[in-house]
Amino acid sequence: MQRDGPMQMQAPKGRANYEPNSLHLAGEIGGPREHPENGFRTYPAEEQGQKLRIRAESFADHYSQARLFWRSMDPAEQAYIASAFVFELSKVSLEHIRRAMMANLRNVDGELAQRVADGLAMKLPKASAAKVAPIDMELSPALRIIRDRSRNTRSRAGPSASSSRTGPTPST
């Protein structure tokens, strides 16, 4: 499903090169689909039991990490992230994709989803069905860029007019 690699000779149709996607809901080419007969299959060899391609249950948790990231942010960083979502989703031309994204954001944080919905002037949809309910992990200050505002603003302000100089005053 690589569209733009070296030596690419095909002219792919449609916007999406991943599956599953929902472009068929808008009457567009949905992109590639898995093929049950010609697609990849595991060789059925028996070696001390059956070989299985399974994922750990934790793979079903799609929201806890995003929730931890969002909740660990400083309010200024949260405002920036919400604004970025509004900007990017305002460029999405298909309404059902924006609604699906908003439904996913509700599983991350209700306030985030509401801020984005307000920015897009959209009604907030119901949360999407999550296979595993997101968990609230202990917040991680290490995820923040803004850690100590008082220290950061002093260090970036440079010398102030009221600071006393040490050494001679430069002549003009």
Instruction: Name residue 83's amino acid.
Output: S
Q: What angle do CA 43, 47, 50 make, to 5 degrees?
A: 65
Residue-level pLDDT, tens digit, the chain, 172 residues: 566 777 777 777 777 777 778 888 888 877 666 777 777 676 777 778 777 778 888 888 999 999 999 999 999 999 999 999 999 999 999 999 999 999 999 999 999 999 999 999 999 999 999 998 898 999 999 999 987 766 555 555 555 555 555 555 555 5
**Is the pTM value of this prediction over 0.75?**
no
Query: What are the structure tokens assigned to 168, written together?
Result: 């001679």
Query: Domain residues of the chain, as ranges?
Result: 58-131
CATH of domain 58-131: 1.20.1370.20
Measured distance CA(78)–CA(91) in Å, rounded:
20
Measured distance CA(72)–CA(79) in Å, rounded:
13
Backbone dihedral region of 7: left (phi > 0), alpha (psi from -120 to 50 degrees) or beta? Answer: left
Is the peptide bond prior to 159 cis by the omega test (within 30 degrees of 0)?
Answer: no
- Taking Cα atoms as reference points, which of 151, 144, 137 lies closest to residue 81? 144
